[in-house]
Structure 1
Amino acid sequence: MNKPVLPLTYEQLDHWIESLQPALLAERFTMALGILRGGAPLALMVSHAVGTPVAFLRYDRGAREVAWDSTLPVPPRGSKVLLCEDIAGRGFTLVDCIAFLQAEGLEVKTLTGAVDDLSRTQPDYAIDARGYFALFPWERQAYTERYRDDWARVEAGAASAMADDHEYAAYAIDLDGILLPDVPLARYDEDLAAALAERDALPPFEVLPGIDLRRVRAIITGRPEMDRARTEAWL
């Protein structure tokens, strides 16, 4: 839980897959398959890089059930497919999806955005994130305590599902100009004590478009440390 974060952007992942293009082309995959939802962006990137059709699997972690979730049919028996997932974790997602595809007579290779110390399986293609917490661009909320607590409960079988992604969103917001009006800089130059007293008396803005204050986890300000006590009093 206290591992350093390894943030991965869409651009970094796209460049990584582009770097694999010669190897992926040589494999002659019939299809790239993304496990919804984390594997979907990677499967699409593979599809763009090497021209393979893309389809998706849906996995129910609680029931450990795999379902084909695509308008494209399952490839013919003997076809080689590339199964894509965001991370090779400690759970059974990859294991069960591989078994599902092999039962359909398919040859399966795997690509994951990251592999770490807890990975149950070793993918054929992966970014080495051992010793780190891989943070994907579509899972920025995954580093919040609530998300990780819920995930641990699901993994342990104590809960059947995660909440929707937006339920884990948290915000850090600026103070001056966002929660309350800015005092013009000239006022500070003219009379610092009066400007600070004016700022202390300012009411907050009534409307903060797009910000749910219940989810604000941090307030960021450029005010000097000497202003901490009066800033906390205003808050």
Structure 2
Amino acid sequence: RGRLRLTEGMSFASVTTLAADLGHTAVFPMLCGGGTLHLVGKEVASDAEALGAYMQEHRVEGLKVVPSHLRALLSGPNAKQVLPLKRLVVGGEASDRALVETVQRLAPECAVFNHYGPTETTVGVLTNPFEGTWDEGAATLALGRPIGNARMYVLDGSGHPVPRGVAGELYVGGAVVTRGYVGRPELTAERYVPDGFSDEAGGRLYRTGDKVRQREDGKLEFLGRVDFQLKVRGYRVELGEVEA
């Protein structure tokens, strides 16, 4: 909650199903911090005009949303009404520069945060507040820096750290790493590997499959995938499974 600057008593809207972990960013900080949680139904969440009216009527201060969903909502005539008053948190997909600049133009008082993290690492492990400027050549909002109890490693194909600025696969360690996949020991062994950088007995790293690089300011930047997985509206799509 602190890294996203979600204050006590804040009102926050969730526009995704509670069956997906994306909405946890809204649910738990509000319930644990004395805030107001708005569970917006699918019909309203998918209708820009209806959602805009809801956000304005209830003076909603925060919103977590997938970039592709937000892009569709902002295509309507009353785009500004869809945006929250104080905090916009985007995640589940890369947030491109044009989208962030559109939000800043429509609602300069609304702070934009990127929130990154796979389900396997308890949802969110990196945060990045947009500070108004872009690195030269940057096409997407940086993933940011790790939260407490999370460690990030950018490794090459042999599992060795790469220099700053060099692309590698992102591995996540620390207390945030989950136990594995229920009933799928082979996949668990493939994605959860021994943590050679920690003294913790039995410590493991999660291989995200995301290609990243560390910028000069220490923030991690998303570059793509090391495999053929795609994200469609925030959902993972494995092309190999589609082909099969």
TM-score, reference length from structure 1: 0.35
Larger Rg: 1 or 2? 1
Q: Which structure dedicates a bigger proportion of its chain to helix?
A: 1
TM-score, reference length from structure 2: 0.34
Q: Which structure dedicates a bigger proportion of its chain to strand?
A: 2
